Amino acid sequence: MVEHVYRRALAARHADGVIVATDDDRIAEAVAAFGGEVRMTSSGHATGTDRLAEVAATLDCDLVVNVQGDEPLIEPAAIDLAIEPFAEDASLQMSTLCTPLAPEDAADQNICKVVLNLRGEALYFSRAPIPFRRGPANRSAGPFKHIGLYVYRREFLVNLASLPRTPLEQSESLEQLRVLEHGFAIKVVETQHDSIGVDTPEDLERVRRLIAVETRA
């Protein structure tokens, strides 16, 4: 699975390089076997953000993209879409992606949802169905599925990892809530490129079938 993620990330037009950050020797060996670049990190990190920040602190770059290893169907074009707002806004520190949420996924706790403000920034992320719809339907209100890809200014990422974990972050087990709870903004870019995060054995089988179809096409 990690090889699929690696090669899709490498295909993004705005990506200058791809590094796998891990504390697991088995993953490191798998990445080395297909010729990928890997960095071993501390095993003491509570979240992927903290692991990424350890590697980011050693890099000489402005932007760092976090493509999670459980997203083997991530579209290179979606990665580019999340990066592009940084060229237009020098004050932007972090971005992520969303896509319209299928009604049958609203109650799935493995699928993160996001609601936005009028500037296209995240108001909140939750595993619960949000927003609650009491009035008439309004497409701009969502619901939206969050796609777990993040772009950071490198310095912002390093500083973020130094901040204490927050109550909602720990309650929902969603590390991006640390950003909001500490008062920072996350730009959310809508995309039609959906992705499937592999959280369950059923997800894995679904992804395998889809990859098999792509391979035969």
- Both structure tokens of 17: 């390089």
- How far does Cα 52 stand from its chain's mean position? 12
Instruction: Indicate the pTM of the whole model.
Output: 0.89
Round the average pLDDT of the chain to a whole number and report it.
90
- Both structure tokens of 172: 């929902």
Residue 118 to residue 115: CA distance in whole angstroms: 10
Q: Locate tokens 């499937």: which residue? A: 196
Contact 53, 46 (CB under 8 A): no
- pLDDT range class, residue 129, cuts 50, 70, 90: very high
Collapsed DSSP state (helix, strand, coil) of residue 121 = strand
pLDDT given at position 200: 60
**2-216: CATH number:** 3.90.550.10
Residue 150 to residue 175: CA distance in whole angstroms: 11
Query: Which tens digits make up the pLDDT trace of 5-53?
Result: 999 999 999 999 999 999 999 999 999 999 999 999 999 998 999 999 9
Model confidence at 199: pLDDT above 60:
no
